[in-house]
């Protein structure tokens, strides 16, 4: 399925909250869903790296990097770790780097841009807190959906039923 969000909005519009701005697809996969796990950080990807090194089966890491365009919160090595640990996707309100390599990886990655500069490693950030950007709240335990049409969240997991 290439277009998940249109079908979900046709079926359950009242249960979904749509991001009010687009994100750029960087990974090889563009369609995903999963349980939200969050990190809130600013120009320090220590907590991102820590979480993506754990089992992410059925989960999507949502990173609020405060929209910073100054440093990349995800590079090829951390994306590789996410893929190996079965994360469904990584969504970043901030930048990635190694975009060419990440484009070849079998994982969904959405971000607002690229920057080749790595982050500081100060172990600063908060895990599994509600974060807000793109006009919606990303609440740990809720479900996130993404495709080339955008991003949306719902309190409970939605399924597409056949007509």
**Residue positions forming the annotated binding site for substrate:** 75-78, 97
105's CB contacts (< 8 A; 6+ apart) are: 27, 28, 76, 79, 80, 83
**Closest residue by Cα to residue 143 from 162, 159, 126:** 159
Asked if residues 86 and 54 have their Cβ atoms less than 8 Å apart, the reply is no
Binding residues for Mg(2+): 98
CA distance 51 to 22: 25
Binding residues: 75-78, 97-98
- For residue 73, the tally of other CB atoms under 10 A from its CB is 30
């Amino acid at each position: 399925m290439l277009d998940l969000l249109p079908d979900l909005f046709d079926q359950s519009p009242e249960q979904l909250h749509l991001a009010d701005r687009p994100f750029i697809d960087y990974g090889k996969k563009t369609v995903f869903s999963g349980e939200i796990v969050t990190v809130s950080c600013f120009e320090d990807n220590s907590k991102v790296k820590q979480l993506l090194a754990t089992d992410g089966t059925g989960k999507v890491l949502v990173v609020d990097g405060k929209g910073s365009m100054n440093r990349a919160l995800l590079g090829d090595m951390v994306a590789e770790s996410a893929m190996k640990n079965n994360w469904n996707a990584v969504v970043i309100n901030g930048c990635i780097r190694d975009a060419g390599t990440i484009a070849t990886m079998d994982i969904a990655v959405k971000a607002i841009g690229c920057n080749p500069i790595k982050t500081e490693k100060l172990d600063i950030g908060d895990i599994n807190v509600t974060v807000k950007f793109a006009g919606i709240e990303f609440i740990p335990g809720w479900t996130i959906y993404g495709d080339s049409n955008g991003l949306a969240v719902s309190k409970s997991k939605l399924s597409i039923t056949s007509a």
